[in-house]
Amino acid sequence: MRDVYSFYTDAFIIALKSILEHKLRAFLTLIGIIIGVAAVVVVGASISGLKTYVIDRVSKVLGSEHFMVTRMASTGRMSDEEYEKKNRRNKRVTWREFQYIRENCQTCSYVGAQAGDNADLDMNGVEMPSVSIRGVTPEMAEIEDKELEEGRFITVDELNRAASVAVIGADVRDKYFPVGSALGKEVKLRGVPLTVIGVEKARGSFMGSPMDRLMYIPITLHTQIFNRDGGIQVHANTIDREKFPDAMEEVTVLLRNYRKLTGSEEDTFSLVNTDEFNSQMDQFTGAIAAVVVPITMIILVVGGIVVMNIMLVSVTERTFEVGLRKALGASRKQILLQFLIESALLCICGGLAGLVLAVGVVQLITILAGMTMTITPGYIILSIVVSSSIGIIAGLYPAWKASKLDPIVALTQA
């Protein structure tokens, strides 16, 4: 056992000395491996960062542990057949159904309602077209984790009396009240003067759509202004993550019971949740990784070919050394392992250098793009395993060639 340990220790030391004696050649040899490993890790970090960024933006729009019940909704693309089937079967969700769910859902932390329309705002001749007008109940502030820059959100009293109040988005504030506070000032919606009671904190844009070009008003007032006939969205969430599936199941059962649906009948409504979106993001980023990562690994393969070429040169340079070792009793297996260890160590060094480069690139992109990128352990392990495997594979033929050398012939080539 001690002899085996001694052999591998000596082989490692010899391999390390060989690399250090030819630093420039080793570096030039490893450029392909370094760039390849860095590319794999940076791509992995970019995919992970993209997923985190999108989910974070969604949570700012929808909140966390949040689900919605409405007539027609889907997190993915519906086929034409499925759409037509649901369009015929599904019924609008009514205000009374919302009240029934809010009063009876035991596992829900908050249950709210929302209705949406677009309208053009016009104040003193200054127009702002296509503003999203959302009629909401007070619970939506908690469900969607809304943050206000100033003021407050809509109250139950304002909801009950359909008060002419509004919480405006940052874009609306910047358009009409760029100087000073917007609180207490008026905006007009279809001729109805609304008093500003709050300004939502700026949220930027999501997938090209502005999230601050909006206005919240009591849903009771929204119904009067837009003459809606009862079709609304019911939103709910749970503070306890573990109760989230139970809450969705309970709301489904409550609405089915209210609509007197039997066990064999399909739901006449749609329920979507943030977890479904997160799952779709996993599939989307997984598909990107499946395509992009193998492409970046081509660089590693090219790097492996370069390593093989240099190892063949190394074998030629050290022909006398190989002959001398074999003459002193070294076996073919020991010679083979010696060159394999050197090749693998060379590529592992390249892999580690690639990781260092990847960390620097990721930090730079994070600073410049403002998007958090995470280097996941999976991609680190993958890059190291692949680089060391390439080192072993690339060193196989040169090592086999070295082990086959005739010691007498090798000693004559001094």
Residue 391: closest CA among 295, 304, 272, 333: 304
Q: Residue 69: exposed, middle, or buried by beta-carbon count in 10 A (0-12, 13-18, 19+)?
A: buried
Q: Decide if pLDDT at 1 tops 60.
A: no
DSSP 86: H
Report CA-CA distances (Å) from 306 to 34, 301, 350. 12, 9, 12
CA 147, CA 149: separation in Å to the nearest integer? 7
This prediction's pTM? 0.65
Element (H or E) spanning 307, and its range?
Answer: helix 274-317
Q: What is the pLDDT of residue 208?
A: 64
CA 322, CA 210: separation in Å to the nearest integer? 70
Residue 386: closest CA among 338, 345, 337, 348: 348
Confidence of residue 254 (pLDDT cuts 50, 70, 90): very high
132 forms beta bridges with 118, 214
Element (H or E) spanning 205, and its range?
Answer: strand 205-206
Tell me the range of 142-146, 152-156, 238-242 where mean pLDDT is highest. Answer: 152-156
Q: What is the pLDDT of residue 310?
A: 75
Query: What token pair was written down for 13?
Result: 């030391």
Q: What is the pLDDT of residue 160?
A: 93
CA 212, CA 200: separation in Å to the nearest integer? 8
Residue 344: closest CA among 389, 283, 300, 391: 391
State the Rg of the chain over Cα. Answer: 33
Q: What is the pLDDT of residue 62?
A: 61
Per-residue pLDDT, averaged over 338-348, amounts to: 78
Confidence of residue 150 (pLDDT cuts 50, 70, 90): very high
Handedness of CA 400, 406, 411, 414 (dihedral sign): negative
Higher pLDDT, 108 or 308: 108
pLDDT tens-digit readout, 289-311? 777 777 777 877 777 777 777 77
Per-residue pLDDT, averaged over 77-81, amounts to: 75
Q: What is the pLDDT of residue 138?
A: 94
Tell me the range of 4-13, 339-348, 393-402 where mean pLDDT is highest. Answer: 339-348
Q: What does the mean pLDDT of the chain come to?
A: 81
How large a percentage of the chain has pLDDT more than 90?
Answer: 18
Confidence of residue 408 (pLDDT cuts 50, 70, 90): low
CB 238 within 8 A of CB 176: no
pLDDT tens-digit readout, 170-193? 999 999 998 888 899 988 888 889
Per-residue pLDDT, averaged over 349-355, amounts to: 84
CB 188 within 8 A of CB 121: yes
Q: What is the DSSP string of 104-159?
A: H-SS-SEEEEEEEEEEEEEETTEEEEEEEEEEE-TTHHHHTT--EEEE----HHHH
Q: What is the pLDDT of residue 133?
A: 92
Q: What is the pLDDT of residue 311?
A: 74
CA angle 236, 282, 79 (to 5 degrees): 75
Higher pLDDT, 13 or 199: 199
Q: What is the pLDDT of residue 270?
A: 85
What's the count of helices (H) and strands (E) in the chain, helices before strands?
A: 14, 12
Confidence of residue 57 (pLDDT cuts 50, 70, 90): low
CA 6, CA 20: separation in Å to the nearest integer? 21
CA 62, CA 278: separation in Å to the nearest integer? 12
Q: Coil, strand or helix: which one is 236?
A: strand
